[in-house]
């Protein structure tokens, strides 16, 4: 399969942002590259690839990347059968798209050999200092060693997080997508609370959640989430990351739900806990502490304050209620692909002095996980010019179904 592409053989079908937005992102990115003395940046995280280029496809199980030079267009590189997907989604011209042949797919021939010759050498980019996302889910050790072997005159630098940090402040268009995701999320919780009952199988409940999420609302179709629904019950809820099974929900147990509305890959996650029957006092006490703590944290969520200001406000309330809670209580969110909907930059934790700016979006996530039970009540938030907005409107409480 040839990597050469006709300029007219396939139309651009998905245009989530104007080209001007991508060009502004590119300028911002290049400014940071210059500060770090990078002549080239190879981006393999699909969220970062999409943010830079617009590329949207479920192809990240293959080797792919976007290459950002200091001048000219970024270059998309991926499997040859995904070329039309690139042409359908990216803002760049077709001449900036390179696909590798099938003989490089899951064989001894590594795609980075083709990449080194067709992209780096083919464009005269040998000898440049190149930034790599070394600590990415999608960048393998074999990729690194192949690049080093095939391109001995290039220098390599760790640029993990470089793109992620440029994504921290969202544009109005991005915020608009996240608010749509929040509305979809509201509908998901409405459906969940309508149908949940003792005796219902968890997989049937998750099916209702998924169906509602994908249908969306008011002409806005939902997208797939980067994390599957987290639905632990009873003692399972002592851990934050168990998914569903085919067991039946029973009276006398609490289940927390960590789910997200998604629109055009932009996520709005939220957790709520549902107790079937009469909740014991420990649940009610935990609910009171978390709700008060969230309110205290939201009061600190405004421009000029820091991530740790939100976290420490929550921790102070937790201590007042006799709850020991450490670690982090939130993280940035936005556009994402599996396996994570976080942006992997700042955290809401003691010691993180990242200054909050208007347009930052975070999942304020103070989950409580004890020895044999747990409770989650969370909020997705956007920092505004004067304070904070919640991106969805779901009652902030423990839900009880008798």
In a domain, 137, yes or no: yes
Q: Is the pLDDT of residue 249 over 50?
A: yes
Same domain for 133 and 232, yes or no, is: no
Closest C-alpha among 248, 286, 256 to residue 273: 256
Q: What pLDDT does residue 107 have?
A: 87
Same domain for 182 and 117, yes or no, is: no
With 0-12 CB in 10 A as exposed, 13-18 as middle and 19+ as buried, what is 18? exposed
114 with 140: CB under 8 angstroms?
A: no
311-327: per-residue pLDDT in tens?
A: 999 999 999 999 999 89
What is the residue-averaged pLDDT of the chain? 96
What residues pair up with 220 in beta bridges, in sequence order? 217
Separation of alpha carbons 272 and 263, rounded Å: 20
Listed in sequence order, the residues at least 6 apart from 201 whose beta carbon sits closer than 8 Å to its beta carbon are 246, 247, 248, 249
Same domain for 270 and 365, yes or no, is: yes
Same domain for 308 and 187, yes or no, is: yes
Separation of alpha carbons 254 and 273, rounded Å: 7
272 with 394: CB under 8 angstroms?
A: yes
Q: What dihedral do alpha carbons 140, 141, 145, 148 form, nearest 10°?
A: 60
**Helices and strands of the chain, counted as H and E runs:** 10, 15
* Pair of tokens at residue 288: 């009171």
Tell which of 122, 144, 166 closes a domain.
Answer: 166
Question: For the chain, what is the domain count?
Answer: 2
Any long-range contacts for 67-71 (C-beta under 8 Å, 24+ apart)? 67/40, 67/41, 67/42, 67/43, 67/119, 68/26, 68/29, 68/30, 68/33, 68/40, 68/41, 68/42, 68/43, 69/39, 69/40, 69/123, 69/125, 70/30, 70/33, 70/34, 70/39, 70/40
Same domain for 148 and 236, yes or no, is: no
Mean pLDDT of 390-399: 98
Same domain for 147 and 131, yes or no, is: yes
Same domain for 270 and 354, yes or no, is: yes
Same domain for 108 and 192, yes or no, is: no
Domain containing 311: what range?
Answer: 172-401
Tell which of 125, 143, 166 closes a domain.
Answer: 166
Q: Is the pLDDT of residue 2 over 50?
A: no
Q: What dihedral do alpha carbons 43, 352, 34, 385 form, nearest 10°?
A: 100
Count of other CB atoms within 10 angstroms of residue 169 = 16
Torsion 174-175-180-185 (CA) sign: positive
Q: Is the pLDDT of residue 289 over 60?
A: yes
CATH number of the domain encompassing residue 279: 3.90.230.10
Q: Is the pLDDT of residue 3 over 60?
A: no
In a domain, 14, yes or no: no
Mean pLDDT of 255-266: 98
pTM of the model: 0.96
195-231: per-residue pLDDT in tens?
A: 999 999 999 999 999 999 999 999 999 999 999 999 9
Q: Is the pLDDT of residue 77 over 90?
A: yes
- DSSP class per residue in 301-365: -STTSBHHHHHHHHHHHHHHTT----SBSEEEBSB--TT--B-SS--SBTT--PBP-TTBEEEE-
Same domain for 185 and 320, yes or no, is: yes
Same domain for 396 and 285, yes or no, is: yes
30-41: per-residue pLDDT in tens?
A: 999 999 999 999
Q: Is the pLDDT of residue 100 over 70?
A: yes
In a domain, 3, yes or no: no
Listed in sequence order, the residues at least 6 apart from 314 whose beta carbon sits closer than 8 Å to its beta carbon are 293, 294, 296, 297, 325, 329, 366
Closest C-alpha among 216, 136, 150, 146 to residue 181: 216
260 with 268: CB under 8 angstroms?
A: yes
Tell which of 144, 166, 188 closes a domain.
Answer: 166
């Amino acid at each position: 399969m040839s990597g050469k592409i006709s300029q007219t053989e396939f139309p651009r079908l998905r245009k989530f942002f104007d080209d001007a937005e991508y060009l502004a992102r590119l300028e911002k990115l290049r400014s940071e590259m210059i500060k770090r003395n990078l002549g080239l940046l190879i981006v393999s995280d699909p969220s970062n690839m999409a943010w830079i280029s617009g590329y949207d496809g479920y192809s990240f199980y293959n080797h792919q990347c976007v290459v950002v030079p200091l001048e000219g267009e970024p270059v998309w590189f991926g499997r040859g059968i995904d070329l039309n997907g690139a042409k359908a989604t990216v803002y760049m011209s077709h001449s900036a798209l390179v696909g590798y042949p099938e003989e490089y797919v899951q064989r001894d021939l590594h795609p980075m050999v083709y990449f080194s010759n067709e992209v780096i050498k083919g464009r005269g980019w040998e000898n440049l200092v190149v930034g790599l996302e070394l600590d990415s889910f999608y960048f393998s050790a074999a990729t690194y060693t192949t690049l080093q072997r095939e391109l001995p005159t290039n220098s390599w630098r760790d640029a993990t997080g470089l793109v992620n940090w440029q994504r921290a402040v969202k544009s109005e268009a991005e915020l608009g997508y996240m608010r749509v995701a929040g509305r979809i999320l509201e509908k998901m919780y409405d459906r969940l609370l309508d149908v949940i009952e003792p005796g219902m199988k968890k997989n049937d409940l998750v099916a209702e959640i998924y169906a509602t999420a994908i249908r969306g609302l008011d002409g806005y179709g939902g997208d797939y989430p980067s994390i599957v629904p987290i639905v632990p019950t009873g003692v399972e809820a002592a851990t934050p990351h168990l998914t569903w099974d085919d067991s039946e929900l029973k009276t006398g147990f609490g289940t927390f739900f960590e789910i997200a509305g998604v629109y055009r890959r932009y996520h709005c996650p939220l957790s709520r806990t549902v107790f079937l029957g009469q909740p014991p006092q420990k649940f009610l006490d935990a609910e009171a502490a978390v709700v008060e703590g969230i309110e205290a944290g939201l009061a600190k969520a405004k421009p000029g304050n820091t991530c740790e200001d939100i976290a420490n406000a929550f921790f102070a309330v937790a201590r007042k209620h006799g709850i020991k809670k450490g670690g982090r209580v939130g993280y940035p969110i936005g556009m994402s692909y599996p396996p994570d909907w976080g942006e992997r930059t700042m955290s809401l934790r003691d010691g993180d002095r990242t200054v909050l700016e208007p347009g930052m979006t975070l999942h304020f996530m103070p989950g409580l996980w004890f020895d044999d039970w747990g409770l989650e009540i969370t909020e997705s938030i956007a920092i505004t010019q004067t304070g904070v907005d919640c991106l969805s409107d779901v009652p902030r409480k423990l839900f009880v179904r008798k």
